Amino acid sequence: MNGVELTLELAPHIAPLLAQRTKNLAEYTPADLTFGNLWLFRREHQWRWHDGSWPYISGLSYDRQSIALPLFDLKHAPIDIIRTLIANHGPLFPLCRHEIGTVGNTGFELTNNRDDADYIYQAQAFRTYKGRALRKKANLMAQLISAHTIEVKPYGTHMRHIALSVLNDWMQEKGKAHGDADEDACKDALNLAPELRLQGFLYLADKQPAGFLLAEPLQEGVWAIRFAKGLARFKGISQYMFHHFACQDKAEDGFVVNWLNFEQDLGLANFRHTKTSYRPAFLLPKWRLFSST
């Protein structure tokens, strides 16, 4: 019932099971379902690993509901197994769109919350910032380039001290106390980027640290933007970072960007406003499965 703490040593056991759940989903892959994401936010969600014939992870959703995250194919699971998981840990979450049809029999209830939905964008939109809706983004990026000399370096852990200085300045700009926001997870990501399959860039303006971006591949050409920290004094740096990342096309390195996933907004007004302002191609719902009897 209690499971075990989620540690990096469990990655070889859990990552393939998550990959099987999201196989062939392309841009419809939820940002949640990677081992790196689960481990980075293990504190927030209090994740616990449960091994066995029907493995799963238990913990808390962002809205503090007890949940079970299945690591098996729902269509092969006995109904009693599903009922027991829900009884012991709460609803199964997150479920993908292809999974909800496999449990549509009576006795279960499916719901989705707008706050949980991922924001999905075509990379092309960030490459051009074309159209009236994105004109302000293009103008901000143009202002940055006009006012500063921008230098970009592929991120490596040898430069984490520079990225950490950006993170510290960003926390101060936002008025955040140490440990608030996603600071701890971001530090873990900067320290262990290769192990967590994170790739990204450090951005300098006039040789001063201005921002960094780390992303994780969800599928071929599909990337979840895990951390993007740009300092406000370099106006337009966020727009520039998203543009630059979306322009990556290094097929020989497997670094092709076709779609960007900006994760969910958690129901926070500032997150929702910012993510909506980039005009997503669509919102990707994630489903919770309850037992109704």
Q: Are residues 41 and 163 in the same domain?
A: no
> Helices 135-147 and 237-246: crossing angle, nearest 10°?
100
Q: Are residues 72 and 26 in the same domain?
A: yes
The Cα–Cα gap between 35 and 8 comes to: 9
Residue 282 within a domain: no
Q: Are residues 102 and 130 in the same domain?
A: no
The Cα–Cα gap between 95 and 30 comes to: 9
pLDDT on residue 279:
97
Residue 277 within a domain: no
Q: Are residues 255 and 122 in the same domain?
A: yes
The three-point CA angle 23-64-267 to 5° equals 75
Q: Are residues 122 and 251 in the same domain?
A: yes
**Closest C-alpha to 123, from 248, 30, 34, 25:** 248
Q: Are residues 103 and 146 in the same domain?
A: no
Residue 279 within a domain: no
Residue 278 within a domain: no
Q: Are residues 204 and 157 in the same domain?
A: yes
Domain with 11, as residue range(s), is 4-114+287-291
CATH number at residue 8: 3.40.630.30
pLDDT on residue 100:
85
98 band by pLDDT with thresholds 50, 70 and 90? confident
Mean model confidence pLDDT for the chain: 95
Residue 26 within a domain: yes
The arithmetic mean of pLDDT across residues 142-147, rounded, is: 98
Q: Are residues 172 and 71 in the same domain?
A: no
- The tokens of 135 are what? 């004109």
Partnered with residue 145 across adjacent β-strands are: none
Q: Are residues 17 and 84 in the same domain?
A: yes
Q: Express each pLDDT in 37-76 by its tens digit.
A: 999 999 999 999 999 999 999 999 999 999 999 999 998 9
pLDDT on residue 255:
81
The arithmetic mean of pLDDT across residues 89-115, rounded, is: 88
Residue 173's alpha-carbon distances to 164, 168, 238, in angstroms, are 14, 9, 14
Residue 274 within a domain: no
The Cα–Cα gap between 132 and 238 comes to: 19
Q: Express each pLDDT in 215-273 by its tens digit.
A: 999 999 999 999 999 999 999 999 999 999 999 987 556 689 999 999 999 999 999 99
Q: Which ranges of 106-157 does DSSP label H, i.e. alpha helix?
A: 123-128, 135-147
End-to-end CA, the chain: 22
The number of domains in the chain is 2
C-alpha gyration radius of the chain:
20
Global pTM reads: 0.95
